[in-house]
């Protein structure tokens, strides 16, 4: 049975309840009211209500049902007695029903609810209504209180020289800003918040469509003006559309003629075959190109190629493969839409399901979902009898079943796309003008709008489609694709709670709870966990973050707006175009034959242009954020959150959030205030020191820093732009200014402890990843370095590492090391900070070298020609020292990496025989190879302590060489099964696992803060709350960390792996190689420790699995508490018999079970995690 949607129920119930007016319907009125109540009960029964008076189906838009009932009762002036029991339930607050009314109906509704609350003795319900009325009154008063100055927009010409820009366009606001303003205008409505939120979400989609409408207007206007046709991108596209249509008609006619000339036996449409030399056959290509009208094919091609510009890391262009496949996909989607509309009809169930309820237009996502559903129904109909299918499946399912076709393969998408793109490249032309240097005349030339070329990207030669410079320049101005989609903006009401993997957040827009890239495996695991109810703690944690109210800090905004509109550079905001000054180098004389002079000129010019582009991009970003802040200035708003595949939470709105830059954080303040109390003033002072950059001192010293700078604080608060500007010297100037305003107001208040503060105060972890590693490994030295162990003042891990590095450098200098002698001054903590910070997240040697080289450039005391050698030397030393300082962390990293390597080379027992067979083809050396590697499909999967399944998505894309109209390309199908990438699985697992733990810790803390009525926000390992509740939050941070790490997390992970992969098999040679590498790594670590710290003791453990041609023999070694050289010696000695391991022989290979080669967990150190509770600076 098909159950109507909630909005249908709501309409019917509201209509029935509206007939309950006694004056209009007399004695029948009670019957209508009773029928409405029974319909509500039926809704509840249908959606799992445990009793007849419990709200149900709220996760399926059930709120609309109760809003409809309430509206009907209010409009008919009926008693509210039937709905009162529902209002006593916490999941149905009265505010949610009042927000569904028109503003004109609110006074009557509020009065009716108050009277009902008094008659039913429900004082809390009465208070809720009064609070709602108070908020609305405040809202209306704020709307008329003042007019806020506009934000001066970045002009269209910004970022370009005056010679590059037409005078008529020079002062125009960027369309992205005008479009954003139009979307944000919905906020200024006098309606109640939930209606304004719906209007805002609708307006944001209208803004996205406005971009296309603007393009169409320009095309139409270009028809009469030849000058405009030459200068406006949209008019070029209009011209290309006509020419491409003609070109495609010619090609299709040519294909048809070629097919007609073929013998009948060869003219049939056989399944397409592809190779590196043969393109798609014309009869196959023609079949696909005939699916849509030619003009529609042309339009799709142009729009997709323009949309893809700048994607995939190609400046002013795109990778050939990416562009061709995008066009092929777009053609497939349009064909599906046309098929559904023409076959099922515009009033059909299937077509209506493709329509976005807000845009009232088909969306690509919905078209794909409907097409997939049709395919599932076609398969279901085959299994069911005709009568059963008619009863269960939607109307017209027979018609749709007949026309449904499977999804196009990537090969077909590529073949169709390549033909269309090739045609576009042939016909699309633009006129370029230049001044002849000799004659001074303006010369015009017709050039291709797009060219096919090759570029080297990360050492690989790739085919690219490049835009003509004039097209790229025009695209940068017209911005034909909405780069910043205005859809995801802060919300005016609390976001919908997360109830499923795809339900929560915005009221109208569907947003998934997890962000991941093309991983069907992750999607299936997430969906299963959601349906089984395992994600409730994760959902609740995200809801805490989403429900935190925010406001714009008005005093900071006023300073930002004034300085922005002046155009002067301030803090990290670059100057406006008219105030900016860029010194271009003088062009060398043409007679100068020295090539070095020319090279230097080009390099300096590029550097200035790069700075110019950077400043323009920065101003565009700030312009967007300030515009949003201005629109939300009088409102409390919310930031819905979701998470990445590791569980780390992020705000869904990409702009103006705590995850943003210093300006964003300075503009944000909590939407609620709390009195400072006894400790709040101290924490405001400490926070000031932190954001100023004085964060390595003790808390007492930080508070004293603020007290000693009270005069500067008052001056900054009173004269932020015309005073001493002390706040601008801070590390985070905008956050410092916000704190100056708050501190000045508190200090000047009659009673600072009673001052109500809304400023977020931060508590940040010390190299949080290392904190988790130290806790996992019980590492005493590591724990002390990252403040897990109590100390009189905060330990600084970066200083600790650089001290060791400087010691090594000095020793090498004494030994006459050439590179060490180049380092004249001791290294500072800044040189090593980024490398130390990212080591826990898997930084490579090359990455560390580049990080350090950047810092050495900034120091300026190393000659340019020596930077590479010195940075390589320091990087190696730093990485060695980190391993020494965090020996327990290094052991766990190695264990995680080894486990991932074993998993990625494991095969289910059901695939062993298949894996044991030889490939039919031979390698280049003529050797027949095993297909075992093709069976390595096992990705590393684990479950976080909160029940979130994490699937690492790293796989080897199966590529096939295909000849297209443009070039030979390598293509892969993301949906096709492909083997994992063992290297990526192994290197990414340690940081991903730690990320999943810090995400768990944050969500646990969020839940505890909610239970204790504390405001909470988070930016990964930075936790925010009111100044008055910092100490309470600090206790909760430590409690949840201890709760998390009191478990044997590594042991549980090992058990999880054994449960999941224990019966899988690994080729014995792979296990041998992995184990040998692990043993060597541990031995090398021991040798470094011996060299630097003169440690004779080294804890190592290694297993080595070896095999002979006829006999399986598993060898393992343990070398505990031995010097490094003994450890290596012992690691190759066997102390296990063949019978100790369950092994298998299939084909010519030997296999061993995963459970028999997975190493035991590294031994844990003596640090007890509960000692964190005594550490003052664990988070500080």
* Residue range 79-109, pLDDT digits in tens: 898 988 888 887 788 888 887 787 778 888 8
List the domain range (segments joined by +) for residue 1125: 1064-1157
pLDDT bracket for residue 888 (50, 70, 90): confident
Read off the pLDDT of residues 177-223 as tens digits, 9 standing for 90 and up: 676 766 676 666 656 676 777 777 776 656 655 554 554 454 444 44
- Which residue reads 């569980």 in tokens? 647
Q: What is the overall mean pLDDT for the chain? A: 79
Give the total number of structural domains in the chain. Answer: 4
pLDDT bracket for residue 396 (50, 70, 90): low
- The rounded distance, in Å, linking the Cα atoms of 562 and 943 is 50
Interaxial angle between packed helices 680-692 and 733-748, expressed in degrees from 0 to 180 and rounded to the nearest 10: 150
439-453, 785-799, 840-854: which has the highest mean pLDDT?
Answer: 785-799
Contact 962, 276 (CB under 8 A): yes
Does any domain span residue 60? yes
Residue 260 vs residue 570, higher pLDDT: 570
3 state SS for 1102-1150: EEEEEECCCCEEEEEEEEEEECHHHHHHHHCCCCCCHHHCCEEEECCEE
3-state DSSP: the chain helix, strand, coil percent, rounded to 5? 55, 10, 30
Residue 365 has pLDDT above 70, yes or no: no
Q: How far is CA 366 from the centre of its chain?
A: 22
Which contiguous run of DSSP H or E holds residue 856? helix 845-859
Name residues whose C-beta falls within 8 Å of residue 566's C-beta, 6 or more positions apart in sequence.
none
Domain holding 805: CATH number?
1.10.150.20
- The rounded distance, in Å, linking the Cα atoms of 195 and 283 is 55
- The rounded distance, in Å, linking the Cα atoms of 639 and 505 is 9
Name residues whose C-beta falls within 8 Å of residue 138's C-beta, 6 or more positions apart in sequence.
none
What pLDDT shows up at residue 862?
A: 87
Does any domain span residue 813? yes
pTM across the whole model: 0.69
What pLDDT shows up at residue 33?
A: 87
- Which residue reads 């724990």 in tokens? 783
Does any domain span residue 237? yes
Q: Point out the least confidently predicted range of 259-263, 377-381, 426-430.
A: 377-381
Domain holding 349: CATH number?
1.10.1320
Residues 222, 109 share a domain: no
* Dihedral pair phi/psi, residue 43, rounded to 5°: -55, -45
Does any domain span residue 128? yes
What pLDDT shows up at residue 747?
A: 95
The burial of 745, by beta-carbon neighbours within 10 Å (0-12 exposed, 13-18 middle, 19 or more buried), is given as middle
What pLDDT shows up at residue 172?
A: 54
Residues 373, 247 share a domain: yes
What pLDDT shows up at residue 312?
A: 58
**Cα 514 to Cα 33, 485, 511, distances in angstroms:** 43, 19, 9
Does the annotation mark 764 as catalytic? yes
Does any domain span residue 631? no
Read off the pLDDT of residues 897-946 as tens digits, 9 standing for 90 and up: 999 999 988 888 887 777 666 554 555 555 545 555 666 678 899 999 99
Read off the pLDDT of residues 823-835 as tens digits, 9 standing for 90 and up: 988 998 889 888 8
Read off the pLDDT of residues 941-983 as tens digits, 9 standing for 90 and up: 999 999 999 999 888 866 655 555 555 555 555 556 678 888 8
Read off the pLDDT of residues 493-532 as tens digits, 9 standing for 90 and up: 899 999 999 889 988 777 889 988 767 788 899 999 999 9
Question: What b/e readout covers 598-611, taking b as 16+ CB neighbours within 10 angstroms?
Answer: eeebeeeeeeeeee
**Cα 388 to Cα 1, 4, 350, 374, 956, distances in angstroms:** 12, 20, 20, 17, 44
- The rounded distance, in Å, linking the Cα atoms of 440 and 88 is 83
- The rounded distance, in Å, linking the Cα atoms of 721 and 733 is 13
Does any domain span residue 363? yes
Residues 231, 134 share a domain: no
Q: Point out the least confidently predicted range of 88-92, 431-435, 647-651.
A: 431-435
Residue 384 vs residue 202, higher pLDDT: 202
Residue 731 has pLDDT above 80, yes or no: yes
Residues 224, 139 share a domain: no
Residues 251, 398 share a domain: yes
- The rounded distance, in Å, linking the Cα atoms of 310 and 313 is 7
Residues 433, 317 share a domain: yes
DSSP-assigned beta bridge partners for residue 1066: 1152
- The rounded distance, in Å, linking the Cα atoms of 1067 and 1076 is 14
Does the annotation mark 1156 as catalytic? no
- The rounded distance, in Å, linking the Cα atoms of 1072 and 639 is 50
Which is catalytic among the residues 764, 812, 1095, 1125?
764
3 state SS for 1046-1067: CCCHHHHHHHHHHHHHCCCEEE
Does the annotation mark 724 as catalytic? no
Name residues whose C-beta falls within 8 Å of residue 187's C-beta, 6 or more positions apart in sequence.
196, 200, 492, 631, 632, 635
Residue 370 has pLDDT above 60, yes or no: yes
Q: Report the first-to-last Cα separation within the chain, whole angstroms.
A: 58
* Dihedral pair phi/psi, residue 207, rounded to 5°: -65, -40
302-306, 416-420, 727-731: which has the highest mean pLDDT?
Answer: 727-731
pLDDT bracket for residue 990 (50, 70, 90): very high
Does any domain span residue 487? no
DSSP-assigned beta bridge partners for residue 173: 155
Question: Taking residues 993-1011, what's their average pLDDT?
Answer: 95
Which is catalytic among the residues 466, 621, 674, 833?
833
Contact 580, 573 (CB under 8 A): no
What pLDDT shows up at residue 1114?
A: 34
- The rounded distance, in Å, linking the Cα atoms of 983 and 974 is 19
Contact 753, 678 (CB under 8 A): yes
Does any domain span residue 670? no
Read off the pLDDT of residues 15-38 as tens digits, 9 standing for 90 and up: 888 887 755 566 788 888 889 889
Sign of CA dihedral 594, 596, 601, 602: positive
Read off the pLDDT of residues 1036-1080 as tens digits, 9 standing for 90 and up: 999 999 999 999 999 999 999 999 999 998 887 666 677 666 665
pLDDT bracket for residue 402 (50, 70, 90): low
- Which residue reads 């100044």 in tokens? 1027
Which one-letter DSSP state was computed for residue 956?
-
What pLDDT shows up at residue 935?
A: 65
Question: Taking residues 602-623, what's their average pLDDT?
Answer: 86
Q: Of 145, 175, 207, which residue sits at a domain end?
A: 145
Read off the pLDDT of residues 305-337 as tens digits, 9 standing for 90 and up: 877 776 655 767 788 888 888 889 888 888 888
What pLDDT shows up at residue 949?
A: 96
Question: Taking residues 630-636, what's their average pLDDT?
Answer: 89
**What percentage of the chain carries pLDDT values higher than 90?**
29
Q: Of 885, 915, 942, which residue sits at a domain end?
A: 885
Residues 331, 474 share a domain: yes
Which is catalytic among the residues 1008, 1021, 1082, 1153?
1021
Q: Of 130, 145, 160, which residue sits at a domain end?
A: 145
**Cα 614 to Cα 312, 573, 607, 620, distances in angstroms:** 19, 11, 10, 10
- Which residue reads 């949080």 in tokens? 768
- The rounded distance, in Å, linking the Cα atoms of 323 and 862 is 44
Closest CA to 546 of 673, 638, 656, 648: 638
């Amino acid at each position: 049975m098909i159950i109507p949607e909630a909005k249908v129920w709501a309409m019917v119930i509201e209509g029935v309840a509206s007939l309950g007016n006694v004056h209009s319907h007399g004695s029948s009125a009670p019957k209508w009211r009773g029928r409405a109540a029974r319909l509500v009960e039926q809704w509840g029964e249908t959606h799992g209500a445990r009793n007849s008076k419990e709200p149900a189906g709220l996760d399926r838009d059930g709120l609309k049902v109760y809003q409809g009932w309430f509206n009907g009762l209010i409009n008919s002036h009926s008693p509210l007695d039937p709905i009162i029991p529902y209002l006593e339930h916490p999941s149905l607050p009265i505010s949610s029903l009042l927000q569904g009314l028109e503003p004109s109906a609110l006074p009557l509704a509020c009065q009716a609810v108050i009277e009902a609350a008094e008659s039913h003795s429900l004082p809390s319900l009465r208070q809720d209504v009064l609070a709602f009325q108070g908020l609305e009154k405040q809202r209306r008063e704020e709307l008329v209180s003042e007019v806020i100055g506009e934000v001066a927009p970045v002009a269209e010409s910004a970022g370009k020289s005056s010679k590059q820009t037409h005078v008529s366009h020079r002062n125009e606001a960027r369309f992205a800003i005008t479009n954003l303003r139009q979307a944000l205008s919905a906020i200024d409505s006098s309606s109640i918040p939930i209606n304004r939120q719906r209007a805002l979400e609708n307006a944001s989609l209208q803004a996205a469509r406005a971009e296309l409408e603007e393009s169409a207007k320009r095309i139409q206007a270009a028809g009469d003006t030849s000058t405009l046709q030459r200068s406006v991108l949209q008019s070029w596209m209009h011209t290309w559309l006509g020419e491409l249509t003609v070109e495609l008609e010619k090609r299709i006619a040519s294909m048809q003629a070629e097919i007609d000339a073929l013998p009948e036996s060869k003219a049939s449409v056989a399944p397409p075959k592809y190779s590196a030399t043969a393109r798609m056959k014309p009869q196959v290509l023609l079949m696909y190109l005939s699916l849509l009208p030619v003009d529609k094919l042309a339009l799709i091609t142009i729009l997709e190629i323009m949309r893809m510009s700048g994607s995939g890391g190609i400046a002013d262009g795109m990778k050939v493969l990416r562009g061709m496949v995008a066009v092929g996909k777009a053609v497939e989607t349009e064909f599906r839409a046309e098929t559904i509309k023409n076959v099922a009809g515009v009033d059909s169930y299937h077509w209506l399901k493709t329509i976005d309820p807000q845009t009232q237009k088909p969306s690509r996502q919905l078209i794909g979902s409907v097409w997939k559903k049709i395919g599932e129904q076609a398969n279901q109909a085959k299994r069911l009898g005709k009568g059963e299918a008619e009863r269960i499946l939607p109307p017209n399912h027979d018609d749709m079943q007949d026309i449904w076709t499977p999804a196009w393969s990537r090969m077909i998408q590529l073949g169709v796309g390549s033909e269309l793109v090739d045609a576009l490249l042939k016909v699309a032309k633009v006129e370029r003008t230049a001044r002849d240097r000799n004659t001074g005349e303006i010369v015009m030339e017709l050039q291709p709008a797009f060219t096919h070329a090759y570029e080297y990207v990360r050492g690989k030669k790739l085919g690219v489609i490049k835009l003509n410079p004039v097209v790229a320049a025009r695209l940068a101005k017209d911005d034909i694709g909405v780069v910043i989609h205005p859809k995801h903006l802060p919300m005016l009401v609390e976001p919908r709670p997360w109830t499923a993997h795809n339900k929560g957040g915005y009221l109208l827009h569907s947003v998934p709870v997890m962000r991941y890239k093309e991983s069907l495996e992750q999607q299936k695991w997430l969906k299963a966990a959601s349906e089984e109810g395992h994600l409730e703690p994760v959902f609740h944690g995200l809801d805490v973050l989403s429900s935190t109210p925010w406001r714009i800090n008005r005093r900071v905004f006023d300073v930002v707006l004034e300085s922005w509109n002046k155009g002067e550079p301030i803090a990290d905001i670059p100057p406006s175009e008219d105030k900016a000054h860029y010194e271009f180098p003088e062009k060398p004389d043409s007679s100068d034959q020295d090539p070095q002079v020319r090279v230097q000129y080009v390099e300096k010019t590029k550097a200035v242009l790069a700075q110019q582009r950077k400043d323009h991009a920065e101003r565009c970003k700030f312009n967007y954020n300030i515009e949003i802040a201005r629109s939300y200035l009088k409102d409390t708003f919310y930031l819905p959150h979701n998470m990445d595949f590791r569980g780390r939470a992020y705000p869904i709105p990409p702009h103006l959030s705590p995850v943003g830059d210093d300006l964003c954080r300075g503009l944000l303040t909590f939407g609620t205030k709390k009195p400072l109390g006894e400790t709040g003033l101290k924490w405001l002072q400490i926070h000031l020191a932190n954001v100023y950059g004085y964060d390595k001192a003790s808390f007492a010293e930080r508070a004293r820093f603020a007290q000693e700078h009270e005069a500067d604080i008052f001056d900054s608060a009173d004269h932020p732009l015309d005073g001493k500007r002390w706040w601008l010297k801070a590390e985070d100037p905008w956050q410092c200014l916000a704190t100056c305003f708050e501190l000045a107001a508190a200090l000047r208040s009659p009673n600072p402890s009673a001052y109500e503060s809304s400023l977020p105060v931060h508590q940040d972890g010390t190299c949080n990843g290392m904190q988790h590693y130290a806790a996992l490994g019980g590492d005493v030295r590591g724990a002390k370095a990252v403040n897990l162990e109590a100390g009189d003042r905060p330990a600084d891990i970066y200083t600790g590492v650089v001290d060791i590095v400087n010691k090594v450098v000095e020793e090498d200098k004494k030994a006459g090391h050439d590179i060490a002698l180049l380092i004249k001054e001791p290294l500072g903590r800044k040189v090593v900070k980024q490398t130390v910070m990212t080591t826990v997240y898997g930084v490579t040697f090359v990455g560390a070298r580049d990080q350090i080289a950047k810092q050495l450039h900034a120091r300026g005391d190393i000659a340019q020609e020596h930077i590479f050698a010195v940075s390589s030397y320091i990087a190696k030393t730093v990485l060695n020292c980190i391993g020494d300082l965090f020996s327990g962390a290094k052991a766990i990293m190695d264990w995680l990496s080894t486990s991932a390597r074993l998993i990625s080379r494991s095969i289910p027992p059901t695939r062993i025989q298949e894996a044991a067979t030889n490939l039919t083809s031979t390698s280049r050396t003529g050797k027949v190879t095993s297909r075992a590697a093709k069976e390595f499909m096992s990705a590393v999967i684990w479950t976080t302590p909160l029940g979130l399944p994490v699937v690492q998505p790293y796989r080897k894309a199966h590529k096939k060489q295909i000849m297209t109209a443009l070039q030979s390309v390598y293509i892969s199908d993301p949906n096709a099964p492909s083997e994992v990438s063992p290297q990526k699985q192994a290197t990414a697992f340690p940081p991903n696992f730690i990320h999943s733990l810090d995400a768990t810790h944050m969500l646990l803390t969020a839940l505890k803060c909610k239970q204790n009525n504390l405001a909470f926000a988070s930016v990964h390992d930075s936790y925010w709350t009111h100044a008055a509740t910092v100490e309470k939050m600090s206790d909760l941070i430590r409690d949840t960390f201890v709760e998390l790490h009191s478990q044997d997390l590594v042991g549980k992970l090992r058990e999880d792996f054994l449960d999941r992969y224990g019966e899988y098999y690994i080729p014995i040679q792979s296990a041998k190689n992995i184990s040998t590498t692990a043993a060597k790594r541990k031995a090398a670590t021991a040798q470094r420790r011996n060299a630097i710290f003169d440690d004779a003791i080294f804890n190592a453990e290694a297993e080595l699995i070896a095999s002979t041609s006829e006999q399986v023999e598993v060898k393992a070694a343990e070398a505990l508490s031995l010097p490094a050289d003994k450890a290596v010696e012992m690691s190759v000695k066997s102390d296990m018999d063949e019978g100790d391991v369950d092994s298998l022989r299939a084909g010519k290979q030997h296999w061993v079970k995963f459970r028999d080669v997975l190493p035991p967990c590294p031994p844990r150190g003596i640090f007890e995690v509960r000692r964190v509770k005594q550490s003052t600076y664990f988070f500080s």
